[in-house]
Amino acid sequence: HEQGGALTDPMVRNPHRVVLLDEIEKSHRDVHQLLLQVFDEGRLTDGRGRTVDFRHAVVIMTSNLGAELMIRGAEAPETVEDEEILDRARAHFPVELWNRIEAPLVLRPLTRPQMLTICRRLIAGSSARLAHDRGIRYRVDDEVIEQLIDRAGIDPALGARPLRHLLGREIESLVADDILRGRIRAGDEVVIERSETGRLMCSRGPAAPS
């Protein structure tokens, strides 16, 4: 091909990369053969005849194979053994490719305490970016955080994505709207909480430290 590959072009620019291949089980069998070349030789020849160096790359592949076992055991995920899930992946991929995977890992569905941690980190990161860009900090009341997690739900198939979207739609958009209306200005520290009528609102108060 005249145009370089989506995989090889970035490697030409910088061979020291983390290469993420998401949902690898959906890829064509020809891709498996290309990966064998990468894993065996540390290089890959693309459609333009370029030999691209992969010796300094870390290749991470994700898969949903076996996810139905987790969903089926959502009420008691600890009853689902890692080996059951790995067996699904092992049966899907060519044995020569599977044998070259250095560290097969099973990622368990997120728990509520983990979702709380993720939520607080997302809020802290968003507040830090706003402080850098606008000189404004905010934090979210603990009760509101709990309600956000309840609304986002804990779906083994979706992880924290619904929570991230909900934070953007309800929290970040609320702060942005108050900035545009002049209710929040540089130097302000605000708390997002529920009003007496149950509406989300920004009020001045101590924000989280940087």
Of 190, 192, 194, 193, nearest in space to 205 by CA? 190
Beta-strand relationship, 18-21 and 58-61: parallel
Q: Do domains 8-98 and 112-204 have the same CATH topology?
A: no
Report the CATH number of the 8-98 domain: 3.40.50.300
Long-range contacts of 107-112 (CB under 8 A, 24+ apart): 108/70, 108/77, 109/70, 109/74, 109/77, 109/154, 109/156, 109/159, 110/154, 110/156, 110/159, 110/160, 111/154, 112/149, 112/154
- Is the confidence at residue 3, as pLDDT, over 50? no
pLDDT score of 64: 87
Sign, CA torsion 63/68/69/73: positive
- Is the confidence at residue 164, as pLDDT, over 90? yes
**Rounded distance, CA 210 to CA 55, Å?**
38
Give residue 151's pLDDT band: very low, low, confident or very high (50, 70, 90).
very high
Residue 98 vs residues 47, 93, 94, 144: alpha-carbon distances, Å: 25, 6, 6, 45
Mean pLDDT of 33-43: 92
Mean pLDDT of 139-162: 91
pLDDT score of 122: 97
Domain range 112-204, CATH architecture: Orthogonal Bundle (1.10)
Going from N- to C-terminal start, the domains of the chain cover: 8-98, 112-204
Mean pLDDT of the chain: 88
pLDDT score of 109: 81
- Is the confidence at residue 2, as pLDDT, over 80? no
Q: How does DSSP classify residue 57?
A: -
Phi and psi angles of residue 92, each rounded to the nearest 5 degrees, phi first = -85, -40
Strands (E), 12-124: 18-21, 43-45, 51-53, 58-61
**Rounded distance, CA 179 to CA 122, Å?**
20
| pLDDT tens readout for residues 66-94 | 877 876 655 555 667 888 889 999 999 99
Would you tell me the crossing angle of helices 142-152 and 112-134 to the nearest 10 degrees? Answer: 120
81: how many CB neighbours lie within 10 A of its CB? Answer: 12
The more confident residue out of 100 and 2 is 100
| pLDDT tens readout for residues 166-178 | 999 999 999 999 9
**pTM of structure:** 0.68
**Rounded distance, CA 110 to CA 49, Å?**
44
